[in-house]
Homo-oligomer: A and B are copies of this chain.
């Protein structure tokens, strides 16, 4: 299954419009190319709708948002929704400033996103659950661990129900859920948190996976999260003496570039959680 979703991205070559921060934008472009998609970046309101029209998916990331790019996010988002394109929101730093929290909420209220992906503190800030956003990182107090996993899934599914979106929360344990079904993914390595932008890259990846697998959005999102985690593990296996976080960044993208369907199936630590409807 995972294998098929990856193959579809490589066969379909989705074109992804990214309105994203200037910190990690180059890595987002390269990971999209690595998985078989094509990136285009455009954040000027005058062209945002037109650019999104020629694409298959729109990845909105609010890191380094500004007064010019916020209207571009709204305009492109509405246009993408109108055209039935895949839509993802990455609420970078929601909870860290009122502008970020309000912008994310305003986008959610006006646009139907297929996926909202963030760390647990950002998602808590949006769900008004009192998260402790520490800049753009999750606060240790909020982190999902084995002992609060059930509670975390329940919280995430409630937010999925409220928003009508798939919610992808990444951290030590990743959860990808809609209101009915949840996937728990335990791939990846802690060292990924010492690289800027692995979250932003994952948001690009998820958008591409959904654009190429539109009938299976939840599974496609869960697959993209798994691909990223396994790329983190494979990339790490190539680390040599002296290599640190900057080289690791390259190795993870390289691992997505070489990701093989069978390896993906074999290394995946993903499980589906019994849910209300299915229990």
Contacts and interface: CB of A to CB of B under 8 A. Distances in A.
Contacts of A254: 242-247
A158 to B, nearest CB: 27
A97 interface: yes
A63 B249 CA distance: 24
A87 interface: no
A238 interface: yes
A255 interface: yes
A97 B66 contact: no
Given A44-B65, A63-B41, A245 B33 contact: yes
B249 A257 contact: no
Nearest to A16: B135
Given A99-B46, A244-B34, A254-B246, A41 B26 contact: no
Nearest to A259: B244
Interface string A216-244: 00000000000000000011011001111
A242 B246 contact: no
Given A38-B137, A194-B257, A245-B253, A26 B29 contact: no
A50 B244 contact: no
B97 A50 contact: yes
A260 to B, nearest CB: 12
A66 B43 contact: yes
Interface string A5-41: 0000000000100000111111101100110001111
Nearest to A237: B242
Nearest to A63: B41
B238 A246 contact: no
